[in-house]
Copies of this chain bind each other. A is one copy, B any other.
């Protein structure tokens, strides 16, 4: 999907919010606004938002003087989520349909605020997230494809969420290649972050070869594009990956929360609901 006019305001909000997260002074926040203005002046409205966001987060890193501004936050998110692993593993094992439970937890992983301090608070966040309604739930189609697939390409999203991905991968009972960003961008998962979450123990970690908060195929490495083309099943996590892959001409099972009005309008589905399934065009 292309940029929407509303994405311009969202870019500004992201620049200011990230600046605040990094403890920027008011003067520095204005540098973020001016830098975002520069990015918007050169935006390509025909590209998906995550592709334009690369210039935005490069600008933020430059103004903040930090190559990977989310490094510490990513480490903490992973550590917090790992604290939940044993409890979530038990809940999945105890469920009458372990795969369904793991899928629901994986969707939750896209929603949780890992900034909250204690494991107890995080568990409450998970329980709250479990109550979120799915506006699309193509579980049967998912099962059918899974049963036929020799292996799965799993497209990662954020840190912390990675631990929930690991729990799902453990229930898929198939070989999995787990795709990570080609370099640090926002709090998205890199190879180092995936290893922190123990994903190398349950999957082969592969890089997209490109550092965008989404999968921009034409910028990815040849080897990743070959994986993408040949994968018998693709599971894609998060809204960023959806935004960049929504127009692809192949079946992809997206798992994400509809977090903004632009995507909600694009799908004609309610804001703040969960999505497990394919786009109508991709489902055929």
Contacts and interface: CB of A to CB of B under 8 A. Distances in A.
A30 B4 CA distance: 9
A198 interface: no
Contacts of A9: 9, 12-13
A271 interface: no
A124 B13 CA distance: 38
A40 B38 CA distance: 8
A43 B39 contact: no
A13 B12 CA distance: 12
A33 B40 CA distance: 7
A12 B4 CA distance: 13
A40 B37 CA distance: 5
A8 B14 CA distance: 13
A2 to B, nearest CB: 10
Interface centre among A30, A39, A42 (most CB of B within 10 A): A30
Nearest to A20: B5
Copies of chain A in the complex = 2
A29 B5 contact: yes
Interface string A85-129: 000000000000000000000000000000000000000000000
A33 B12 contact: no
A81 interface: no
Contacts of A40: 33-34, 36-37, 40
Interface in A1-56: 5, 8-9, 12-13, 16, 26, 29-30, 33-43, 45
B41 A34 contact: yes
Nearest to A33: B8
A38 B38 CA distance: 6
Contact of A30 (B37, B39, B45): B45
Nearest to A3: B30
Contact of A8 (B5, B12, B42, B43): B12
Contacts of A29: 5
Given A12-B9, A29-B5, A34 B38 contact: no
A41 B37 contact: yes
A37 B43 contact: yes
Interface centre among A5, A34, A42, A43 (most CB of B within 10 A): A5
13 contacts: A5-B26, A5-B29, A8-B36, A8-B37, A34-B40, A36-B37, A37-B37, A37-B38, A37-B41, A37-B43, A38-B38, A38-B41, A41-B41
Given A8-B12, A33-B45, A34-B42, 10 more contacts: A5-B26, A8-B36, A9-B13, A30-B45, A33-B43, A34-B43, A36-B37, A36-B40, A37-B41, A38-B41
